[in-house]
Copies of this chain bind each other. A is one copy, B any other.
Amino acid sequence: MSTRVEIPADTSAAAKGTAPLIAVSGHGKGGYKRGLAIFDVVLRLGAVAATLAAAAIMGTSDQTLPFFTQFFQFQASYDDLPTFQFFVIAMAIVSGYLVLSLPFSIVAIIRPRAAGPRLLLIILDTVALTLNMAAAGAATAIVYLAHNGNSGANWLAICNQFGDFCQKSSGAVVASFIAAVVLLVLIVISALALRKH
């Protein structure tokens, strides 16, 4: 494990460009891949934060209006919309997967040239991205409908009444899209690390 190669610690530019040029030996490749692996762990922590935020914001987005009729009280919660329930569950699952995947990502730092953990990570990351985008797309459709309504189907916009609820669910959707972008970058990193070069 003795090596003189500098490990590019946290900048992707250094990991991508400089390291393989400095040393083209086996040690150099290890350093390049180790840099990718460290970047992977950092991004993974960011994705955990984004998915947790998405689930938490959506999960707490209930609003009760301060007036009610004889028949019912006006209240909006993520529980009322099955799509938002699915969103919270999916984000929680993705978040849990990302936490559980951290050890494998750390193994990739210690053994930068092992293909097994990388292969596992890229496949499971793709599945997580799929789940994430399904939830994000579905929630976006409903949030759009809540904001704009639809005259053809006679669905009225509810954001005039439930402003806070709409704002929170929009925020959750944005967080889920950030998580999707991070997952996309994670998959690209895994693909670069898998390449034999």
Contacts and interface: CB of A to CB of B under 8 A. Distances in A.
Contacts of A194: 191, 194-196
A89 to B, nearest CB: 13
Interface residues of A, number: 49
Interface of A: 75-77, 80-83, 115, 118-119, 122-123, 126-127, 129-130, 133-142, 144-146, 148, 150-156, 158, 180, 184, 187-188, 190-192, 194-197
Nearest to A80: B152
Contacts of A129: 126, 129-130, 133
Contacts of A126: 126, 129, 184, 187-188
Given A76-B153, A137-B133, A144 B82 contact: yes
A123 B126 CA distance: 11
